Every structure is written in C-alpha cells, then in structure tokens.
Structure 1
Amino acid sequence: MAMVLSSKTILFIFTIIISLFFTTSSAETCKNHTFTSKRVFKSCKDLPYLHAYLHWTLYKSSRLVHIAFRAQYGPKGWVAWAINPRSTIMTGSQALVATRDAKGRMSAYTTPIIGYNPSMKPGKLEFRVSKLSAEYANKEMTIFAIVGPLRNLPIVNIVWQVGSVDRKGVPQMHEMESQNLRSAMAIDLS
C-alpha cells in the first residue's frame, strides 16, 4: 500500500528540513570562532544573552586578563563589557565601550557606570586598561583589551550590553527588554 502525501505536507516537511539545516550549520559558539586579527585566547564562554561571547587569557601571576568581547550588533550602535568589583548589577560597573561611527570607524574607550542613566562619556576606571581597541566584522563588534591587575580573581562579576547611537554617534540607553536586563553574571576565569 503506497502512502500519498499532499503538496502541503511535502512543503511542510521540506521547510522543517531546510530550517534544521540552517540552524545547525550557522550555530555560532565561542569555540569555533577565528578572529580576523588572528588573536588566540585560552578560554571562552558563550554568554547567555544578547548573542555575546567572551574570550580571555588569564595571567595568574600578574592578575591581568587579556579579553575579547564580541556581540552581534548592526553597523551603527555600541557594545559594552564591564567588570563590577562589588556585585552583578550594572551600577558600579567599570565598562569598556566600542562604537562605530557613520563612516565605519570603530573606537573604544572606558567609562564608569555610576547610575541607572549613565552619561557613557569616557572616564577613568578603578583598574588599569591597556591595548584597548575595537573592530567590526561579520555583523559583530569586538572589544579587545588587557585589564588589571584585578583584585577578586579568579571570580569576577561581568555585565555586558548593546545599544544604538544617535546621529552624532553618542551611545543611547539600551533597550529594557528581558535579555538586556539579565545580561550579568559571575564568571570563573580560571
């Protein structure tokens, strides 16, 4: 007895197969990422919100951490990654911010997050930051830096965020969606 499938059923099955193929073939993780600058890090973590990833190398003797923070965001906007020395909330975070201007130039700077409506203007952090830079490739903004020495190693509280910029390139407040409000955690860098 031969089974006859309707054209709607065949189309439905074909759609499922194609979507499964693209879902599995395009799945991004930190482990399969290659940086355009050929930089290599010893550890990485897929962060649970905002399509973000953290790569790092911890230098225990000096308490320095070489980081790369990646987040998928459009060509105009900002991304930020921060350490909060006291808790896993935004206020009190010491942030590294990357923006991309209308001409496509990337810039990176530091800013302390003092309140719930921070200025996002450049400012000094509670710890040193060196070799700070940013790049935009494949619809991702990436921040590179060496931070530290850090006090609370190997466990640090991190916060990350994405947002838009105004016509002058000034970072605007991030969305108040669930993912934005939950993008913080304690992480073991060892």
Structure 2
Amino acid sequence: MAIKKTIVILCIIIGPLSLVSSAQTCKNYIFSEKRGFNSCADLPVLQAYLHWNYNSTSETIHVAYRANQTPRGWIAWGINPTGSGMVGTQALVAFQDLNGNMKAYTTQISSYNPEMKPQPLSFPVLELSAEYLNEEMIISAVLGPLSNGTTFNIVWQAGNAVSNDIPQSHPHFGPYVRSAGTLDFLSL
C-alpha cells in the first residue's frame, strides 16, 4: 500500500514538471555554441522557432531556424522576396545523411514540386551550418546584404524522408500548408 501511495505522489509531482519542461519557447532556448540572438519568434506551426540578429550597417541577417525532427527527416527555412507562398522562396535546407552527418545547403523553390537540389540563392549566404541536437534540427547562416528592406515573407517546412541526399516531398495538408508568414527583422 505504501508503494502505491509513493507512486501516486511521484506521478502528481513529476507529471506537471514534464509539462513545464516540454513547453519550450524561443526565448528560453540556449544554443550549444556560445552564440546569442537578440530576437526570436515561436513560429505558429510545425514546432519551429526562428532566432536572428539584424545588422543594419551591412544589411545582413544572422538566422538560426530550429524545428523538432527525427534523424531521417529534413527541415527548410527561407525568404520569399517575390511572393507570399512557397514558390519563389530562397531556402536553407538541412538533413542528416546516412553516415549521421548533418548537411546544409541552399536551394530555390521554383514550383510546388521542387527538386530540392543545391542551388545558389539570389543573395549571398555565409557561415551555413546545421546540427542535430535533442530531437531538433538547427540550420544557421548569415544572409545578405538584403537591400530591399527589413520585412520579408518567410516560409518554413519539414519533411519525413530523404533519398539519395535529396529531401523528398512533405505532406500537403494541415500545418504543412500553413507554414508561411511575414516578419520584420527589426522586431524583437
């Protein structure tokens, strides 16, 4: 009887703690490397977060995009300088190869069925890197100069399969078709 009471008490104490620890936001995240970001946003779908620093002098943006993902999936984040949806997006892509190494590259999304092969973007991308940590994929880079302002249409995505080092199509329903918005990189 004493064991049952102890288990019940532990469940009552530990249960709420596990809910608190899983309620993550961008503001309470600490990166594994000693890098900091002044601004961040909890993106509304796909358990994703965006962190950034905007440098007004150089018109560059240092971004880190994080999303929950399995080791066999992929993530992508990008800016669409010409429209508000997926087509036209200049994207950063990350996934884990068969050897367990993270790969990151850039690609242009030119259709609703993109090839997702490496391609240069319409603006410079520096310091592109990716990591897999605590069931999250993180991709980061410095973008720019971006001379057409500080407000951009952004798109983010995740998929469940990579074949021959090429991300395969993501689902086309629910949160996967709502993963776009507008962001002013001067906002905090």
- Residue number among 18, 21, 32 corresponding to 1:22 in the alignment: 18
- Residue number among 66, 87, 90 corresponding to 1:91 in the alignment: 87
Amino acid at match of 2:104: A
Report how far residue 148 of structure 1 moved.
Answer: 0.7
Other structure's SS at 2:23 match? coil
Q: Which runs of 5+ in 2 are unaligned?
A: 1-9
Residues 153, 189 of structure 1: 8 Å contact kept: no
Residues 70, 136 of structure 2: 8 Å contact kept: yes
In structure 2, distance between residues paired with 1:16 and 1:158: 41
Task: Name the residue aligned to 1:112.
Answer: 108
- 186 and 16 in structure 1: CA distance in 2 versus 1, 3 angstrom threshold: farther
Residues 74, 162 of structure 2: 8 Å contact kept: no
> Would you say 1:77 and 2:57 are equivalent positions?
no
Q: Give the total of aligned pairs.
A: 180
Task: Name the residue aligned to 1:121.
Answer: 117
Other structure's SS at 1:25 match? helix
In structure 2, distance between residues paired with 1:134 and 1:166: 16
Other structure's SS at 1:149 match? coil
* TM-score, L = length of structure 2: 0.89
Report how far residue 103 of structure 1 moved.
Answer: 1.6
Report how far residue 102 of structure 1 moved.
Answer: 1.9
1:14-55 Cα offsets, whole Å, 9 max, x none, are 978765442223211111111111211111111111010000
Other structure's SS at 1:67 match? strand
Other structure's SS at 1:116 match? coil
- Residue number among 129, 134, 145 corresponding to 1:133 in the alignment: 129
Structure whose alpha-carbon radius of gyration is higher: 1
- Residue number among 9, 32, 36 corresponding to 1:40 in the alignment: 36
* TM-score, L = length of structure 1: 0.88
* Identity level (%): 50
RMSD: 2.0
